[in-house]
Structure 1
């Protein structure tokens, strides 16, 4: 095979100390100038460089490229022996039908090993790389024989075989020894299609680290979980998991590990075919994230900086952005009045969210979001509280900080790069604490209620999880030009997480010709459920979140108004909800620990409680809240008194069961807003993974941001700034 390849491709191969043939290059240059085409001029070493580094398409055969080939060929010749170069070439050439390398070709075409081939069989293989499809013995037997005989003649002219051998070989039919045709599925191409968006981002990251992945002969190790990547690809490209309204609906999705920032999997679109390094909607399309912004810009900062509790009262009533005449509304254009932070966030009410942002201060909230990797522009104003331009990569990474207790890890794809000189560069990300542990836990506790009571299509039985929906609608201008968009969503999101994974999914359309109908606004959550269910099945770990000592859990009476009142130990389960307070800001408790039943200490980070007052047989987090007083005067708008806490002790159980219920822990001073409570939340039963706080008068909810008199229906702020053509709305499915 050596003799055949060298004779037909580069008979002076062993006499080229530089790896190039200056005479052939000069002739090629003359052809390029006089005929406008580039012909010949490549040594075997240059062909190896071309196969390894450059495109082999005719349109890319330029004189500049030929000079680059020559330079690299000289470098290769300095580093490797002729025998090595020839071996590299023989192992790399394409032989049609999805076959690479001469040894593989021998098995495919003749069912033999390379050294078992006859002279005409070897000659046929040696002639294929010049034009693999044109010389295919199955589809072009005549051309294949002509090319084979040309190789045999070259071997004779190069004194590698005798005249008799050449004659006998040329007289052999091209079909002699040829195996029946069989189609080969190229698994590497299939894997490339599945992993393409991830690899695209990994290559970008490698370049940012100062390497050239196309030139530097690197071995790159990425953080991808290929099985998770393949499952995510199948979920969005087949009908086995989720039903899509049509083939044009698109998806962008990212999975990250909350504990280190590693990007686990990523999907940049669906029904794309083999489009190498195409548009990656997971990172390149920054669409308004709707209500998935609320924990990041509205309620997270309010808990962090104002020490708000999950019970903190907000007023869902008519609201106009300050300095404008633009009214903010919800999807149902209704007002639900007084409600807790928990209910407002779970049921995704817009007005309470924007009021929370206003209370914290837009600049301060922007700073909080920026620490989570999301840059909210200053001119967006309060409207950003119900949606701003965010990618699924940013969404998954931001929510990961809530999952892990308040640490942000910048997402990354590449864990290791090995260079040709044997040096290994290892990469990891050190996280940075961006919020208090109490903030992360309290947001998570509230968001547990979303899949359980609001977006139930995303709920996974038995799994400790939290999540948030988000949808945006079209601006009035877009609807005016295309009335079919009325009542549809422009973007539909679901961000969900466990302690092991954080997933953000966007669904929508690339153009303004189509919208997501209410029936299919649940698709994002269903994609999340299908993928997270798979990940959970592959990972036996199902840890629940452990309440930190900086958080106080208390049973609050539904009869409370502006100030939370601790429920009596004898109260019925329908008359109170379990709420969380930052330690030092809980209401005073008139009852002693001994007033409660002995088993009342158990409870999960759920707002559901058992039908037996303060009693449950299951156990979960540990509440270690000893008597202390608040020394902080930085209280939220409202009472803000300081008084001592009582203790409540729970045993910790991080298990795979769903039967964890809340505890009746007690605490001290509290702060609340000045509105009356209109319907506290209550749930009963031993269901787990719930933190609901779902109102007994809810059942559907939304986060629409439609505005009166404008197409920018998420509204504007102070100076009348408007959204960039989209508005936020959300309906429960």
Structure 2
């Protein structure tokens, strides 16, 4: 029998009590701790420590899973990385623009590169590049975690001394050699592949070799690639003969060759960048503070050669495509590409033969321009896709990448906008037929005492919309816009790619600011039956790693097919013998279009009937061509187009379109089912089928050609006015 002094403990394995004999005295129990209670009491369990431990263990597990997943993902991305070879690392990093046949029409580098060997590169230049771009270059194996964290902190504090990210020099070399610098391509996959390839490059090449690859590949501006070539081109000296300030300038330029161009009139950005490089060299220990201060005092232009002759020679072959290339570069930038930092192949819609035709007719003797500085802008596109096939930015160019007159949108289009702002909306929203009556009578601007008249100061009373459009009468256009309403007019013209800052009204009916590119897009929509395609240039881009990015043309129906057809039918009458654009006539060709003239206010002091801007936009089913002529300083004395030269744009159009349509089908526009023909006055007019419309209480008139009309246009009060037509055949 168990002794009374037995005590029990829990058996951890059986959950039962084990008995011990009294000969083994029990241990004296410890008195309970007083938890703030003088009388003592039971101790409370510490659950918080338990939960902290559990959370830590879960975070540890999740961290291990995340690391393992990251490693697996990195390995997957690395396996898909493109090949990188010595030839790619040493190749010239030049982007190129190609025409629709794949022919190279423009290259980033216009100066032949002179490759520098490792021994030709001064130690000071190597130190300046490393100090600025990758201070730990000689300590990492291609990827630098410390640099990544340091760059993030420095950029956050605004003290990065030019470091813009965590990429090492080796990673930058890889990016320049096989990857695109497009912001859209900076994905996790691409970053992983870039890091993997950087480590491979570090394994197979020495640090000096990597630096040599980098300094021969970077773009330096002015069509120059490589620092050795830049030294000769900018300073006329080999690298080893350059002074510290000059070496520092070269080291800092690759980050942004355009902004840090020392040849700019305002070269303060170049100086600031050079001085940043010098300060980085001090921090790196390559030079002393005193050396940096002495170099900072040297003008950034010190030692630079005059590039005028060199630039002229390099640019002679570029003048033909200059305007088009400007538009391509702008579009590439909007798509996220930096053509100065990646060897891109940019394929375009440019037809080199049509581009040459634009250039030759603007700079030759086929069109009688009144002066050497009379300027021109022209855009030619495919109306079925919006693809720009040719564009001319100007004539008699002295510099490249200057003003692209084809895209200037601060000059009034005069009467060339009447189909877009007045008569197009009238058909679209009010269902006006081509024979709808409009008044050609004296017009006073609402709320004002000033009046708008036609070029001849005369009025034709009641005429048809067809006659008002083809003869470009001003007062009927003003009254039409009044009936259409500014809101509808703005809606219509905006849908055709021409923005308006406010709801059109008043004199907007006879002229708003527009560019040839915009008119080419708008008239293209009329030509194709009502679908608007934004004018575009690039069809595809191939990045250095061989990836192809395709850019298809996408359109949107914005106007009815009935509106497009009726506008085209009326504008056929503009291009007729003895009509407004008689100079644009191409015998037998199915075409339509509209001219426009912008004159001067009497207070401008220009001669009577002097013209500020002259326009013509015409089209077939294959092409649309919009042309502007004028002067860069139209308000200076003598800078005007004389009345006798008003047809410059239509002359130019006739030459180019005649050439362009030689091998194209000459097809007419087909009447859609939504349009009904109606013969009035021996002219086939058209109306929107089964739609009601109002004649505004005016009597209907027949479309009988007016007698005694003058086949010319003029502009009073800042827009185009009249002409004559024989009607529609």
Report the TM range for the smaller structure's normalisation. 0.5 to 0.7
Match of 1:247 in 2: 372
Q: 1:24 to 1:402 in 2, by over 3 A?
A: closer
Match of 1:212 in 2: 338
Determine the C-alpha separation between the residues in 2 that align with 1:364 and 1:582. Answer: 18
Report if aligned partners of 2:415, 2:719 keep a CA contact under 8 Å in 1: no
- Measured after TM superposition, the shift of residue 215 of structure 1 is 2.0
Match of 1:522 in 2: 647
Determine the C-alpha separation between the residues in 1 that align with 2:513 and 2:128. Answer: 58
Q: Deviations over 1:281-339 (max 9, x none)?
A: 11134211011111001111111111111111112112212332221100000011221
Q: Deviations over 1:504-543 (max 9, x none)?
A: 1111111112111111110011111111111112x33221
Report if aligned partners of 2:173, 2:214 keep a CA contact under 8 Å in 1: no
- Measured after TM superposition, the shift of residue 466 of structure 1 is 0.4
1:419 and 2:443 correspond: no
User: Residue 493 of structure 1: which of 615, 619, 627 is its match?
Assistant: 615
Determine the C-alpha separation between the residues in 1 that align with 2:403 and 2:311. Answer: 26
Report if aligned partners of 1:254, 1:263 keep a CA contact under 8 Å in 2: yes
Determine the C-alpha separation between the residues in 2 that align with 1:336 and 1:327. Answer: 16
Q: Deviations over 1:525-574 (max 9, x none)?
A: 1111111111112x332211111121122222x3xxxxxxxxxxxxxxxx
User: Residue 399 of structure 1: which of 523, 528, 538 is its match?
Assistant: 523
User: Residue 700 of structure 1: which of 708, 711, 721 is its match?
Assistant: 711
- 1:34-73 matches, cutoff 5 A: 72=169
- Measured after TM superposition, the shift of residue 448 of structure 1 is 0.7
- Measured after TM superposition, the shift of residue 84 of structure 1 is 10
Task: Give the secondary-structure state (helix, strand or coil) at the position aligned to 1:396.
Answer: helix
- Measured after TM superposition, the shift of residue 695 of structure 1 is 3.6
- 1:547-562 matches, cutoff 5 A: 547-556=671-680, 558=681
Q: 1:485 to 1:99 in 2, by over 3 A?
A: same
Determine the C-alpha separation between the residues in 1 that align with 2:412 and 2:332. Answer: 29
Q: 1:703 to 1:291 in 2, by over 3 A?
A: farther
Determine the C-alpha separation between the residues in 2 that align with 1:544 and 1:27. Answer: 64
1:577 and 2:703 correspond: no
Q: Deviations over 1:205-253 (max 9, x none)?
A: 12212222222332211222222112111211x2332110001111111
User: Residue 333 of structure 1: which of 457, 462, 472 is its match?
Assistant: 457
- 1:43-442 matches, cutoff 5 A: 72=169, 75-76=172-173, 131=232, 189-236=315-362, 238-275=363-400, 277-378=401-502, 380-442=504-566
Match of 1:716 in 2: none
- Measured after TM superposition, the shift of residue 458 of structure 1 is 0.7
1:535 and 2:535 correspond: no
Q: 1:85 to 1:334 in 2, by over 3 A?
A: same
- Measured after TM superposition, the shift of residue 456 of structure 1 is 0.9
Task: Give the secondary-structure state (helix, strand or coil) at the position aligned to 1:463.
Answer: coil
Q: Deviations over 1:107-139 (max 9, x none)?
A: xxxxxxxxxxxxxxxxxxx99885369989xxx
Identify which range, 298-307 or 66-75, moves more after superposition: 66-75
Determine the C-alpha separation between the residues in 1 that align with 2:229 and 2:336. Answer: 38
Determine the C-alpha separation between the residues in 1 that align with 2:119 and 2:551. Answer: 46
- 1:651-730 matches, cutoff 5 A: 674-675=698-699, 677=701, 680-681=703-704, 694-702=705-713, 704=715, 706=716, 713=717, 726-729=718-721
Determine the C-alpha separation between the residues in 2 that align with 1:422 and 1:357. Answer: 53
Report if aligned partners of 1:257, 1:501 keep a CA contact under 8 Å in 2: yes
Determine the C-alpha separation between the residues in 2 that align with 1:462 and 1:354. Answer: 34
Match of 1:9 in 2: 120
Determine the C-alpha separation between the residues in 2 that align with 1:99 and 1:363. Answer: 51
- Measured after TM superposition, the shift of residue 348 of structure 1 is 0.8
Determine the C-alpha separation between the residues in 2 that align with 1:680 and 1:69. Answer: 73
Determine the C-alpha separation between the residues in 1 that align with 2:423 and 2:598. Answer: 19
* TM-score of the two chains, using structure 2 as the length reference: 0.60
Q: 1:131 to 1:216 in 2, by over 3 A?
A: closer
Q: 1:90 to 1:578 in 2, by over 3 A?
A: same
Q: Deviations over 1:556-607 (max 9, x none)?
A: 2x3xxxxxxxxxxxxxxxxx222112112xxxxxxxxxxxxxxxxxxxxxxx
1:465 and 2:596 correspond: no
Determine the C-alpha separation between the residues in 1 that align with 2:657 and 2:210. Answer: 47
- Measured after TM superposition, the shift of residue 367 of structure 1 is 0.7
- Measured after TM superposition, the shift of residue 379 of structure 1 is 5.7
* TM-score of the two chains, using structure 1 as the length reference: 0.59
Q: 1:185 to 1:67 in 2, by over 3 A?
A: closer
Q: 1:6 to 1:435 in 2, by over 3 A?
A: closer
Structure 1 portions without partners, runs of 5+: 14-19, 30-62, 102-125, 137-182, 559-575, 585-631, 639-672, 682-693, 707-712, 714-725
- Measured after TM superposition, the shift of residue 21 of structure 1 is 4.0
Q: 1:498 to 1:184 in 2, by over 3 A?
A: same
Q: Deviations over 1:476-518 (max 9, x none)?
A: 332xxxx334320111100100111111111111111211111
Q: 1:498 to 1:188 in 2, by over 3 A?
A: farther
Determine the C-alpha separation between the residues in 2 that align with 1:201 and 1:554. Answer: 45
Q: 1:131 to 1:635 in 2, by over 3 A?
A: closer
Q: Name the structure with the higher helix share.
A: 2
Determine the C-alpha separation between the residues in 2 that align with 1:194 and 1:435. Answer: 36
Aligned residues: 486
- Measured after TM superposition, the shift of residue 439 of structure 1 is 0.8
Structure 2 portions without partners, runs of 5+: 1-89, 91-113, 135-159, 175-196, 238-308
Match of 2:298 in 1: none
Q: 1:71 to 1:310 in 2, by over 3 A?
A: same
Match of 2:302 in 1: none
User: Residue 635 of structure 1: which of 693, 700, 716 is its match?
Assistant: 693
Determine the C-alpha separation between the residues in 1 that align with 2:132 and 2:592. Answer: 69
1:544 and 2:668 correspond: yes
Q: 1:249 to 1:68 in 2, by over 3 A?
A: farther
Match of 2:631 in 1: 509
Task: Give the secondary-structure state (helix, strand or coil) at the position aligned to 1:378.
Answer: coil
- Measured after TM superposition, the shift of residue 268 of structure 1 is 1.5
Determine the C-alpha separation between the residues in 1 that align with 2:488 and 2:224. Answer: 59
Q: 1:579 to 1:188 in 2, by over 3 A?
A: farther
Q: 1:86 to 1:473 in 2, by over 3 A?
A: same
Match of 1:161 in 2: none
Determine the C-alpha separation between the residues in 2 that align with 1:92 and 1:258. Answer: 40
Report if aligned partners of 1:406, 1:434 keep a CA contact under 8 Å in 2: yes
Determine the C-alpha separation between the residues in 1 that align with 2:532 and 2:495. Answer: 7
Determine the C-alpha separation between the residues in 2 that align with 1:492 and 1:427. Answer: 34
Q: Deviations over 1:613-666 (max 9, x none)?
A: xxxxxxxxxxxxxxxxxxx5x42236xxxxxxxxxxxxxxxxxxxxxxxxxxxx
